[in-house]
Chains A and B, each alone.
Chain A
Amino acid sequence: MATLAPEKTMTDLPARTITLSVYRGDAARGEEVPYDVPVTPGMVVLDAIHWIQANLAPDLAARWNCKAARCGSCSAEINGRPALMCKTRLDAYYGEEPVHVRPMRTFPIIKDLVTDVSWNFEKAREIPPFHPRTPAPFTMYQRDVNRPQEFRKCIECFLCQDVCHVLRNHDLKHAYSGPRFMIKIAELEMHPMDDADRVPYAREDAGVGFCNITKCCQEVCPEEIHITDNAIIPMKERVADRYFDPIRAIFRKK
């Protein structure tokens, strides 16, 4: 048995309140509204939103399911940083109050903190699905599945899509599918048993070339997936090998 831990694992903080400034409004108009919320130890931003709903504003719209960082529903921008509300502790903001809570900026607002993320589900449908070259069960070794498994940790919170400046600042949703779907494409391409070819799709439809490797997406990923390093750059390389390799080009043109 381990050595005895301290009697309490987190300091019992004295009662205090924290002010949250929460965006209220719809697609047409809106503004931040301040709410004073009593804080208990270990409280996260989502707890504060629930407290506001239960006590001050029952119609405050917010998405959430698991409150355990598994489902990726409660994405928002907290003091300007894209984050899961269930994983963001209020005590991290002591001294920086009020805590601004706003909806993801890259997607149209439906109401308050809820945005219309349906575009992501349309993109998901476009990707050529898994196509196994033999019937399961497969023989695959752990070292060969580590990489697709890394990408399959994705909880589809769309924070990477939110922070991606191609989508956020340049609104190129028609041209670039965003980091979430770059890792989906890479995951399928790197699956040891898949024999479909998504390289043309990655280049022409999903627009992998639009990414200029600022790595903002992997900084906000709550699952710490190496989106740029392990998925986007290798996909760019596959596209380059296919389309821009001079030796291959000779064979293509013959």
Chain B
Amino acid sequence: MAEEKHTYDIVVIGAGGAGLRAAIAAAQDGLKVAVLSKSLLGKAHTVMAEGGAAASLGNVDPEDSWRVHFTDTVRAAKFMNNWRTAQIFAQEAPERIIELEQWGAVFDRTPAGKINQRAFGAHSYRRLAHVGDRTGLEIIRTLQYKGIHTGIDVFMEFTGVTLLKDSHGERVTGILGYHRNTGAFALFEAKAIILASGGWGKVFKVTSNSWECTGEGAAMAYRAGAELMDMEMVQFHPTGMVWPPGVRGLLVTESVRGEGGFLYNSEGERFMLRYDPVRKELSSRDIVARSIYKEVQAGRGTPHGGAWLDISHKDAGFIRRKLPNMYDQYKNLADIDITKEKFEVAPTIHYTMGGVRAEPETAATNVPGLFVAGESACGLHGANRLGGNSLTDLLVFGRRAGEAARQYVAGVERPGDVDEAEVARVEEKTLSYLKPEGGENPYELHATLQDVMGTYAGIARSGEGLKEGLGKIKELQERAKAMGVKGGREFNPGWHAVNEVNAMLTLSEAIFRSAIERKESRGAHWRTDFPDYDDELGRTNFITQIGKDGEMTLSRRAVPKMPDDLLSMFSPSDAGWPFGGKKDGGTDHGHAGA
């Protein structure tokens, strides 16, 4: 039995933007709410968001509206997202941003004293509320200080290991995990659980993601029977640092292009004029990333295999004011002054669009008592996420998850029973990885996994490669059974890595299985053997779920059909339009061109 036991009405897993916003919404009516955080409070991956939070406030471009934000989001998603999720998102975004101001966030201002908004890729209007290039920090700090005065209990440096269900195996009744400092297990009984545990970008080596983005939350939900959706959709941010090797993958904010930066190939050509003559550098991320990749493949890459990004034609003071972190980052880590010189960038893994399927209104999963919000959820971003939509996603659906969980627990008298035998089994299993003689090194397995993902599930994918990659994941899953780490339970990162590697291997399998089945190119998913859109697949979401025998199953689910009044805002000539009646074959500058 766990060394420690707690009972709460609602437990939130994760203390990033979504988790904190959910907890603030849940901690009303005297409900007891706990937030479990893998790291210290205020350190979650949300702090790394740079560019801004998208909302049609209309402070800079008054003609903006939720409808335009909605259509931008659905077009970027290539029609694969849930229309209702996108509608709620676009409608509620402005009030969520204003609410942050009410709670103390200090956004950059317009000359008229309103929240300033900047341009960003594939947004029709200047829409991103921002603070220089540290918007994520502003948002998490605001929610953090609001949260600690809202009466929630925060358990810092706590790792969840398994979700527990009642004896009927139906609803979620708790979570078992351990304190990282001591290694002591703790059991949290709860009437409802909100998963806000972020993405799993660390399955790739070249990534902009934090240490924490290893997907234990989504893997726990999967093992508890939750549906994972569209796992093949992984976003490559077009611009990560390339050189020196130690910083490869580190994010270079889209704001560099939003504030006027241009991309050049080794021949000095501004190549985005060729791939997307209309939106140019501010095309959607999938298209810009693929264009850089294609330039490198064609032999027009920079010395370290990327493209040049240049904003030095702008005033140095402007650059340092608008992009202070970028200036410091290049100066300190690469000896480059971006106010004076161009610099190398290349695509880096940035965001997992797939995740635990969430209902639009309630953020509920298919498992009773389990809700999901933020990057671990799936429904809003479809085949490609727009920059700036993630921060707002955290706020809109974090709040909705908290509200829905609150309503749900009103109908639950007490936490359900917890399967004690399961608790004992998981504890024993978790401790079994501590071996005086060592075993398979989890760090090495993680590095091998990252190589496999980079080689077979990267920006350009093929059926053959994907199948080979899946085989390698299965081999790694076998090897992972023999993982072993020396040392004790007290703050042992090697032991912590075991849990992470197991989660990442599960989610990577789901990525491969879904990517194999998506025999088309759409958004972030580019199949060199199926370079075109497929209408039927464009109306299909892929669901991966644990089968009765413990094996992963994959099934197809129709994308919810948009009502005609919303559909009428689109055109059959939109890229990726999957409903037939195309006027010009629906060409996409991103997939076409060389």
Contact = CB atoms under 8 A, between A and B. Distances in A.
A67 B211 contact: yes
Contacts of A152: 106, 131, 137-138, 141
Contacts of B487: 58-59
Interface string A1-41: 11101011110000000000000001000000000000011
Nearest to A46: B246
A119 interface: no
B268 A145 contact: no
A191 B104 contact: yes
Interface stretch (A123-131, A170-178, A237-245): A123-131
Q: Residue among A40, A41, A42, A139 with the most chain B CB within 10 A?
A: A42
Q: Residue among A43, A70, A155 with the most chain B CB within 10 A?
A: A70
A40 B344 contact: no
Contacts of A141: 109, 113
Contacts of A87: 332-333
Interface stretch (B37-45, B409-417, B467-475): B37-45
Nearest to A121: B41
Q: Residue among A5, A43, A62, A124 with the most chain B CB within 10 A?
A: A5
Contact of A61 (B98, B134, B245, B491): B491
Task: List 5 A-B pairs, minimum CB-CB distance, nearest first.
Answer: A42-B244, A58-B494, A59-B487, A130-B104, A54-B443
Contact of A7 (B114, B303, B443): B303
Contacts of B334: 9-10, 42
B579 interface: no
Contacts of B48: 66, 68, 70-71
Q: Name the prevailing secondary structure of the A interface residues.
A: loop
Q: Residue among A112, A132, A136, A140 with the most chain B CB within 10 A?
A: A136
A139 B111 CA distance: 10
B149 interface: yes
Contacts of A155: 47, 137
Contact of A124 (B131, B145, B243, B312): B145
Contact of B246 (A47, A136, A194): A47
Nearest to A90: B246
Interface in A165-209: 188, 191, 194
B134 A70 contact: yes
Size category of the A interface is 35 or more
A70 B485 contact: no
Contacts of A65: 39, 43-45, 47, 210-212
B322 to A, nearest CB: 12
A73 interface: yes
Interface in A58-107: 58-73, 87, 89
A139 B243 CA distance: 42
A219 interface: no
Contacts of A145: 106, 109
A139 B114 contact: yes
Interface of A: 1-3, 5, 7-10, 26, 40-44, 47, 53-55, 58-73, 87, 89, 110-112, 114, 117-118, 121, 124-125, 129-130, 132, 135-142, 145, 148-149, 152-156, 188, 191, 194
Nearest to A2: B312
Contacts of A9: 243-244, 334-336, 343-344
A5 B102 contact: no
B131 A149 contact: yes
B246 A42 contact: yes
B169 interface: no
Nearest to A127: B145
Interface in B76-135: 98-99, 101-104, 106, 108-109, 111-115, 131-132, 134
A43 B149 contact: no
A71 B485 contact: no
Interface in B470-525: 485-488, 490-495, 497
A65 B15 CA distance: 13
B588 interface: no
Given A67-B210, A112-B491, 10 more contacts: A1-B268, A9-B334, A65-B43, A66-B43, A69-B332, A114-B491, A124-B145, A135-B102, A148-B106, A152-B137
6 contacts: A41-B243, A41-B246, A42-B333, A58-B497, A63-B40, A66-B48
Given A41-B244, A121-B41, A152-B141, A54 B340 contact: no
Given A1-B342, A40-B246, A58-B494, A71 B102 contact: no
B158 interface: no
A153 B134 contact: yes
Contact of B245 (A42, A58, A62, A69): A42
Given A64-B211, A70-B325, A142 B108 contact: yes
Contacts of A54: 441, 443-444, 447
Given A53-B494, A59-B493, A68-B251, A136 B99 contact: yes
